[in-house]
Amino acid sequence: MEDAVPFYLRPQLWWRTAIVVCAAAGLLTGEHRIVFYTCQSNLIVLGYFAGALYWMVRRRTVEAPAPRLRGPVTLWILITCLISHFVLNHGASPLPGLADPDPGTALANWSLFLVHYVVPVMVVADWAAFGPRRLAPWRDLPLWLLFPLGYGVTSVFRAILFPAAPNRYPYPFLDPALHGGYDGVAVQMLTLAVYFAVLGALLIGIDRLGARLSRPTSAEALSTAA
């Protein structure tokens, strides 16, 4: 029955198109510097899903390319959302800022809302709702952590080598002055690594659960075979 649905009506195609549109709109309507993890993770999402759309349209398939890359991309953008909401905004709702009376401020807030909330939620929903399934092995989980941890390490070295650079410490948990030196920063990063690993394991668990729920029952399998 699913194969009877025309390709251009498949939800995967339009959902991933919306992800690309939201990521591009968020990045283009605000001042997002490449030094920030938010900008980098959204650029990765934009590149991956734009490439996925090209592949899907060319091959007339709803299966995303490089399926083992889809998992870490999902984790990296989810980290953006959670760090923004709980660490930077301390759990405050972003919604009031969207109706700011100043058009410039409202536009900036909408840009931040797109890259911090809308795009991450859409990417996680894509991971939960669509396949392919069970192509993210547990052994890949440590590799998923390389980008966010590498970002933290390179940001610290950048601050040491270029102390006059703008946005010297892009995030407060990287600033040694706030954590009793670089030892404190290392503790912060190790703590975040544990959280990120738990998030990654949760995503793999969602993938496994989705595979189990989408598996046809014995009765369905017999009916299909008949």
pLDDT digits (tens, 9 = 90+) for 47-65: 999 999 999 999 999 888 8
Residues 6+ apart with CB under 8 A from 99: 106
- With pLDDT > 90 as the criterion, what percentage of the chain qualifies? 83
Rounded Cα gap, residues 91 and 84, in angstroms: 9
Q: What is the pLDDT of residues 77-88, one digit of tens each?
A: 999 999 999 999
Residue 141 φ then ψ, to 5°: -55, -45
Query: Alpha helices, DSSP H only, in 67-139?
Result: 67-82, 103-113, 119-129
Quote the number of domains for the chain: 1
Q: Convert the pLDDT of each residue in 91-120 to its tens digit.
A: 999 999 999 999 999 999 999 999 999 999
Question: Which structural domain, as residue segments, surrounds residue 207?
Answer: 2-225
Q: Which pLDDT belongs to residue 63?
A: 87
Question: If 0-12 CB within 10 Å is exposed, 13-18 middle and 19+ buried, where does residue 119 land?
Answer: buried
SS3 helix, strand, coil % of the chain, rounded to 5? 75, 0, 25
Q: Give the residue from 106, 134, 127 showing the smallest Cα distance to 208.
A: 134
The token duo for 63 is: 């299966």
Does the pLDDT of residue 166 top 50, yes or no?
Answer: yes
Stated pTM of the model:
0.92
Contact 208, 137 (CB under 8 A): no
- The reported pLDDT for the residue numbered 224 is 39
**pLDDT at 1 > cutoff 50:** no
